[in-house]
Structure 1
Amino acid sequence: MHKKIRLLIIISVLGLLALSGIQGYLINNTYKLEKAAFISETRKSISRIDDLSPNLDIINEIWQDGFLNVLADYRAKIIKKQQVLPKFDSIIATVNDLYITAYQKDLRDKNINQTLKFQKIVRTAIVFDSIQRDTLFIDTNKTPLHLLGDYFTLEEGHKVSNSLWLTDHSSDRIVNGSNKQIAFNLQFETEDRMNIEGWEKIVLGRMAFLLFISILIFLLVFGLLFYAIKSFMTQKKIADVKTDFVNNITHELKTPLSTLTLAIKMLKVDADNSSSANTRNFVNTIERQNKRLQKLIDQVLNNSLGYQEIQLKKEIVNAGDYLNMIIDDFQLSLGLKSIQIDKKITVNTEIYIDKFYFTTALLNILENAVKYGKDDLQILITANSNQNFEISISDNGIGISKKELKFLFDKFYRVGNTEVHNVKGLGLGLYYTNQIVKAHQGKLLVESEVNVGTKFTISIPVK
């Protein structure tokens, strides 16, 4: 039983962990979706600022004209290739602060309340003409060239859009004392990126209610599981204490009863020699009550066993002969009681049972039918065999209500009907019967209706 409790706790903990994992997975997916939605909303709100802002257009024209002049100097061989990007950086440095200020102003004008940084980075810069193609910069190592805006790393930002600037340019330069026209084409690819300060808090804020409900449900499930396991263990401990108490007290009662039995035998000898009828009656009454008390104690002792503890000594018996013998003996025990017993037993199947225990189970059901029967009690006993051996015992007694059927096989349970409690008993007979059937790997089923009758069906494997 302790192994079962440990197994139950382990399975419960694993189930809780699985539930937590699934809940965590769903929350993580929701977080990703909320993040994607928030980034998409912000991207959409700022996507056209750089293209439609007059102030930013002026600044873009300044650095573009400056860059084209630097490229014209390079193509005229006035400066070397390694000087192009540094000169370009110096041009950007003169306008970058103005660009950041103008961009932040446009954000405020659009009522974008997030603390947002924006930057342009260069992905490729290629100069070419009809003869040759000259790559000034290409982002091959994920280290883009900063163009405009705030400084932050790729990991800190999110992509907004890509832009491709294609232009053909021509200008005059003095080369070796003579005027020369310089013409070229430029392919300049940039990427707009944004950095939203505290976006994690914003996304988590949108998920606050979901997180609160998830944590609340988790704590509720954990609390209920803890309470259920604790209650189960407490009930198990109480049941063990009750069983131990019953076993101990019945064993203790057996000793004085044995002594009392011996004393009664001695008194009975003296009573038989006595001429007093009252003395003989008193001794006989004591003897009967002593036997009844011993029978009750034996019943408590035997019925405290669970089906796992019942040691069966099975043997092969003919089902038809065995049942007819049990029913005939039971009819003889009824004496003069006006009870009609009908039987429909035509099976000759051999079954593998413990005759002592199985007989006890059948007699318990038959005795209950008599105890709780009516004046014109009728009992029908049928048996059949297919894959399993089944025996049914039906009566037209007082019946049992539907709500009490589920408790019928509980230890010490007695149906809460005033008529039933006119009959003495401990509420152990059907519990013990059910344990015997379970020990035979079978099932005990019951059907009943108040004031109509009750039907018990025992089903066990044939072998």
Structure 2
Amino acid sequence: MKRKINILITASILGLMALSGIQAYLINNTYKLEKDAFIEETKRSIFRFDDNIAEIDSIYETIGDLVINQIIDYKRGLLQKPAFLSDFAKTRDAINSRYIELYQNTFKEQGVSHPVKFQKRLKSIVLLDSVANDTLFFKSTKEQSLHLIGDNFDINSAYGINNSQTTTDTERDYVEDGLQKTINFEFQVVTQDYFNIDGWEQEVLRRMSGILVLSIFIFALVLVLLYYSIKNLITQKKIADIKTDFVNNMTHELKTPLATLTLATKMLKKDDIKQQPQIVDNTIQTIERQNKRLQQLIDQVLNNSLGYQEIQLNKELVDIEAYVNTVLDDFMLSQKSKAIRLNRNFSIQNQKVKLDKFYMTTALLNILENAVKYSDGDVIIDCMVNSTSALNISIKDYGIGISNKDKKQVFDKFFRAGNTEVHDVKGLGLGLYYTNQIVKAHHGQISVESKEGKGTIFTLTIPFH
């Protein structure tokens, strides 16, 4: 059964992991699709935003005039290619803040609700000639291209929009050596527009919030259902094991008196036995003893199964030291099978406590009897009583002890520590359960400390009020 449960748990965990993997894959794909849709939506919103905006056109003309003047200087031999547009940053700084303000206002008018940064970059300038073109400026990658105008941001995380190629035929007059001259040239400019969205991840996640919440809810629901299913399965197995152990223990406890009763009944049927009154009397006494034992077993199952809510206490004010000594004395008188040394230690401050003497005596005797049952050879028991802030009764033995695993269940109904299939120690697993219920009925607590082979300490704490 245990192997089947382990297989089921392993299969459930693997299934949950597979479900988690599939869900993560689907969420990741949805995230990518939402991201692409968001980027495309932004592209459409700002695509060619600068068309038909006069003030932006005048800014482009300023940049164009600078490029034309640099080309004229180049053609006149006053400027070398490596220095082409090397001081362009000065011109950009003069006009850039107004350009950024203009395009941000335009984006707002176009309904772009999220913050977008925009820039235009120069890729190449080529002088066109029927014989041979002359490349004045060329950068093969977007990282190397020149930032013409717009916000400054990491170009590697940017998205491209327009790749614009413009051809211009220009004729300009200039003065050289006191003479006015005219220069004609045709050039081609290639630019690329880029944009970057601050916090686009949050925007995409916001759009996915519905599916994310639903996915998390479904995953949590499956996890909780799996947890409770496995927990209930294990609980049912424990209950089944407890029932089996109880039936085995009860069967074992009933076998001896029943066998004795059967044998005694057969003896009474024999004619020769009937003629011997002494043997008949002894046999009848044996029947009475075994009948009483059977009745005790039944009463133990019925009475010791009560929960603390069902226990009706009849509390009375008792003298702590006198009461505990009486219980210990009665216990010592009832134990004749083993040599027992009982050490008593009292630290009494509050002399009186209210409790039900009948039930509390039962609780203490259950612990004391267990100390005898689970001790090998001579039995040593220490009983320590303290009544400072509450009544604390500690009963310590030096027996076989309880394992850490069993300590967690030692107060459970029908549970017996150790190997439940070995019946060297008689019992039904009800004594400590009933003791715990009695202490709870007094609004108290019971704790256990134990190490295997070192003994056990049970401590009962009963409040004064």
Q: Is the 8 A contact 2:48 2:162 kept in 1?
A: no
1:214 alignment partner in structure 2: 215
Identity %: 49
Alpha-carbon deviation of 1:194? Answer: 1.4
Q: Alignment partner of 1:51: what SS?
A: coil
* Matched letter for residue 203 of structure 1: V
CA RMSD of aligned residues (A): 2.6
Amino acid at match of 2:47: S
Matches within 5 A, 1:369-380: none
Matched residue, 1:3: 3
Shift of 1:37: 1.4
Residue correspondence of structure 1 range 352-367 to structure 2 within 5 A: none
Shift, 1:77, TM fit: 1.1
Query: For 1:228-249, what per-residue CA distance to the aligned partner results, in whole angstroms no more than 9, with x for missing partners?
Result: 1111111111100111111222
Distance 1:271 1:232 in 2: 59
**Distance in 2 (alpha carbons) for counterparts of 1:101 and 1:21:** 46
Give yes or no for contact 1:70–1:88 (8 Å, CA) kept in 2.
no
Q: SS at the partner of 1:121?
A: strand
Deviation at 1:177, TM superposition (A): 6.9
Q: Distance in 1 between matches of 2:60 and 2:15?
A: 61
Matches within 5 A, 1:142-181: 142-143=142-143, 144-173=145-174, 181=182
d(CA) in 1 for partners of 2:84, 2:216:
58
Contact 1:74-1:81 at 8 Å conserved across structures:
yes
Contact 2:122 2:147 in 1 (8 A): yes
Contact kept in structure 2, 1:124 and 1:189, CA below 8 Å? yes
Paired with 2:156 and 2:5, the residues of 1 have a C-alpha distance of 51
Work out whether residues 118 and 194 of structure 1, in 8 Å CA contact, stay in contact via their aligned partners in 2: yes
Cα distance in 1 between the residues matched to 2:3 and 2:185: 85
1:25–1:271 CA distance, 2 compared to 1 (3 A): farther
Distance 2:228 2:66 in 1: 76
Say if 2:191 is the partner of 1:186: no
Task: Give, in angstroms, the shift of residue 48 of structure 1.
Answer: 2.3
Deviations for 1:30-73, whole angstroms, at most 9, x for unmatched residues? 11111111221121111121123222112112211221121121
Matching residue of 2:96: 96
TM-score (norm 2): 0.54
Q: Could you tell me how far apart the structure 1 residues matched to 2:272 and 2:30 are? A: 92
SS in 2 for 1:49: coil
Measure, in 2, the Cα distance between the counterparts of 1:109 and 1:28: 33
CA distance in 2, matches of 1:73, 1:184: 12
- Aligned-residue offset at 1:169: 2.7
What residue in structure 1 maps to residue 228 of structure 2?
Answer: 227
Q: Which whole-Å deviations, capped at 9, do the CAs of 1:233-275 have from their partners, x for residues lacking one?
A: 111111001111112222332333333333333333339999x
Q: Secondary structure at the match of 1:52?
A: coil
* Contact 2:67-2:85 within 8 A present in 1 as well: no
Amino acid at match of 1:244: D
2:93 is the counterpart of 1:110: no
Unmatched 5+ stretches in structure 1 = 275-285, 287-463
Distance 2:90 2:84 in 1: 10
Unaligned runs of 5+ in 2: 276-286, 288-465
Q: CA deviation at 1:161?
A: 2.0
Kindly indicate whether residue 268 of structure 2 is the aligned counterpart of residue 267 of structure 1. Answer: yes
The one-letter amino acid paired with 1:204 is L
Distance in 2 of aligned mates of 1:4 and 1:139: 68
Name the residue aligned to 1:42. Answer: 42
Superposed, which structure 2 residues align to 1:22-421 within 5 Å? 22-143=22-143, 144-173=145-174, 181-270=182-271
Code of the aligned partner of 1:50: D
Aligned partner letter, 1:79: L
How far 1:120 sits from its partner (Å)?
0.5
Structure 1-normalised TM-score? 0.54
Letter paired with 2:208: M
Answer yes or no: is the 8 Å Cα contact 1:76–1:182 preserved in 2. no
SS in 2 for 1:254: helix
Structure-1 separation of matches of 2:274 and 2:2: 59
C-alpha distance in 1, partners of 2:186/2:141?
A: 25
CA contact (8 A) 1:76 1:173 kept: no
CA distances 1:64-92 after superposition (whole Å, capped 9, x unpaired): 12211211211221222222122444333
For the Cα contact (< 8 Å) 2:81–2:137, is it kept in 1?
no
Change (3 A) 1:197 1:30: same
